[in-house]
Chains A and B, each alone.
Chain A
């Protein structure tokens, strides 16, 4: 995902309102989505 570099000059719009570069980056965001014992003598 760090694909994020990504469409550089593509100005096309999808779904009638969403620039394709922004759509791709939003998809990147969606794609992105013993220590206890040690911390506890």
Chain B
């Protein structure tokens, strides 16, 4: 596979040697470590709920930081300036940790107590509704698949930009490598690989920042170029609206409904395991995002033109233009692939888990034993990887624009998970209404803001806003209203259900 990569590359093969060695080391490390694990379903799907603080931090952070964090952040800063950091990074540092603390720890406790493996199992149990499970299944899978596409297409774009390898081949290699280790070790292999990959992409981000600033004449000269040529990128005025900035804070609420993150939460050994993740997450975001945002504005200041008008290709172009050393380019390529694969692996495992538990096992009952469930999970994972790979061969024209719509879709379901863990009066009818309204609102706005203009052949330029606000604001308001109104108009959940999920042990106290 790697030999095919080398033959297909018209540029220096050295970066591909570096990436090849990295991928082989990653594969060896993941497979070697995951083979030590026991082969039960509990091990394969939730790592026997035994993951410690460091691995949880690395797997949660690595999963949260996608291709968008490196490639998209640079491109967005190239377009909109340094305000992108406040818009997407520092807000996430506060809100992600808030969600981990207030929602993640509770879901971990409920998952452990009732032996849940997926989000849908929890919602079915909490609302005593099969219909809600069948409704959530296509919604969650439908939102994860574009998220996967962003990763595979992003990997292809980066490797093509730096080494000239065709995108179909990069997608095949990335899918093959990820598949190799998650088939062997499930969610534990994903967590171990994420730990390695998170360290790699953080170090590589710092390396890129140092080398690119050096190639531009040093930190001061790189910023002076921006002062001289594109000073508007040094502030938010004229680039980002006040309401847009404030309403963007709703987007990071999406982490509360990511099914792949839910699965990582369930792997925690104890509630205390979350402490490191809650505290370190904002700092880790800063370490990744500050360099990327600066590289983006420096590229604009240096007059670098976005290839084909696509600002998401700016990072690859900066690496290719500024860093003539192919070994360094190879390291940077490995780092970017690490960020991408550390999200893909968790998403693939989670979709396999959802198909196995929420459809097959739920419908057939105890027909399959533990070993058969693991086999089913593996079969589904292979099928999902194959489908996603084929879809990636026909990428939509605005694949990175899909990211914020994906996150907005998950965020629109956030009121549901908050009500499920904090509001006793929330009913199944209210939950179903909330999902339907969230889905309907999302679909209408998505068509108006992205799909319609794309089908009409229009170029997507400015952010799509409603009254100056991000569309996620409307989605969350609508789904919350539906949840509250319908819950209050319908019969409260049974006392047994309330007693099961709400008692004094599951509360916060000082």
B280 part of interface (Cβ distance < 8 Å): yes
In-complex Cβ contact of A28 among B90, B246, B507 (8 A) = B90
In-complex Cβ contact of B86 among A4, A32, A39, A40 (8 A) = A4
Complex CA distance for A8 and B244, rounded to whole angstroms? 13
- The prevalent SS among residues of B at the interface is helix
Task: Given A8-B237, A25-B86, A34-B509, check contact A39 B271 (CB 8 Å).
Answer: yes
With a CB–CB cut-off of 8 A, which chain A residues contact B223?
13, 16-19
Contact in complex: A2, B82 (CB < 8 Å): no
With a CB–CB cut-off of 8 A, which chain A residues contact B285?
29
The closest CB in chain A to the CB of B227 belongs to A13
The closest CB in chain A to the CB of B113 belongs to A39
Q: When each residue 2-36 of chain A gets 1 if its CB lies under 8 Å from chain B and 0 otherwise, what string results?
A: 10111111111100111101100110111011111
Contact in complex: A38, B235 (CB < 8 Å): no
With a CB–CB cut-off of 8 A, which chain B residues contact A10?
235
B286 part of interface (Cβ distance < 8 Å): yes
Q: When each residue 66-95 of chain B gets 1 if its CB lies under 8 Å from chain A and 0 otherwise, what string results?
A: 000000000000000011011001110110
Task: Given A26-B286, A29-B282, check contact A35 B234 (CB 8 Å).
Answer: no
Complex CA distance for A6 and B237, rounded to whole angstroms? 12
Contact in complex: B235, A36 (CB < 8 Å): no
Contact in complex: A19, B235 (CB < 8 Å): yes
Contact in complex: A35, B506 (CB < 8 Å): yes
Complex CA distance for A32 and B92, rounded to whole angstroms? 10
Q: Interface with A: B102-110, B122-130, B453-461, which one?
A: B102-110
The closest CB in chain B to the CB of A1 belongs to B94
Chain A-chain B contacts (Cβ-Cβ < 8 Å), number: 117
Complex CA distance for A5 and B86, rounded to whole angstroms? 8
The closest CB in chain A to the CB of B505 belongs to A38
The closest CB in chain A to the CB of B223 belongs to A17
Contact in complex: A26, B220 (CB < 8 Å): no
B353 part of interface (Cβ distance < 8 Å): no
Contact in complex: A8, B235 (CB < 8 Å): yes
B272 part of interface (Cβ distance < 8 Å): yes
Q: Nearest Cβ distance between residue A11 and chain B, in whole angstroms?
A: 4
Q: Nearest Cβ distance between residue B187 and chain A, in whole angstroms?
A: 19
Contact in complex: B279, A16 (CB < 8 Å): no
Complex CA distance for A28 and B87, rounded to whole angstroms? 12
In-complex Cβ contact of B82 among A19, A32, A33, A37 (8 A) = A19
Complex CA distance for A10 and B272, rounded to whole angstroms? 42
Complex CA distance for A30 and B231, rounded to whole angstroms? 26
With a CB–CB cut-off of 8 A, which chain B residues contact A38?
109, 113, 503, 505-506
Contact in complex: B282, A35 (CB < 8 Å): no
In-complex Cβ contact of A26 among B90, B94, B504 (8 A) = B90
Contact in complex: A36, B85 (CB < 8 Å): no
Contact in complex: A21, B282 (CB < 8 Å): no
Contact in complex: B109, A29 (CB < 8 Å): no
B290 part of interface (Cβ distance < 8 Å): yes
With a CB–CB cut-off of 8 A, which chain A residues contact B93?
28-29, 32-33
B222 part of interface (Cβ distance < 8 Å): yes
With a CB–CB cut-off of 8 A, which chain A residues contact B480?
none
Complex CA distance for A2 and B245, rounded to whole angstroms? 12
Contact in complex: B219, A17 (CB < 8 Å): yes
With a CB–CB cut-off of 8 A, which chain A residues contact B294?
22
Q: Nearest Cβ distance between residue A20 and chain B, in whole angstroms?
A: 8
B293 part of interface (Cβ distance < 8 Å): yes
Complex CA distance for A34 and B286, rounded to whole angstroms? 32
Q: When each residue 478-510 of chain B gets 1 if its CB lies under 8 Å from chain A and 0 otherwise, what string results?
A: 000000000000000000000000011111010
Q: Nearest Cβ distance between residue A35 and chain B, in whole angstroms?
A: 5
Q: Nearest Cβ distance between residue B36 and chain A, in whole angstroms?
A: 26
Could you list 17 further interchain pairs (A-B, Cβ under 8 angstroms) beyond the known A2-B249, A8-B242, A28-B94?
A9-B236, A11-B227, A11-B231, A17-B222, A19-B297, A21-B86, A22-B293, A25-B82, A25-B85, A28-B93, A29-B89, A29-B90, A32-B282, A35-B109, A36-B270, A36-B272, A39-B505
- Can you list 11 A-B pairs with a CB-CB distance of less than 8 A? A7-B235, A8-B242, A9-B237, A10-B235, A26-B85, A26-B286, A32-B90, A34-B507, A38-B506, A39-B108, A39-B113
Binding site for B on A (CB under 8 A): 1-2, 4-13, 16-19, 21-22, 25-26, 28-30, 32-40
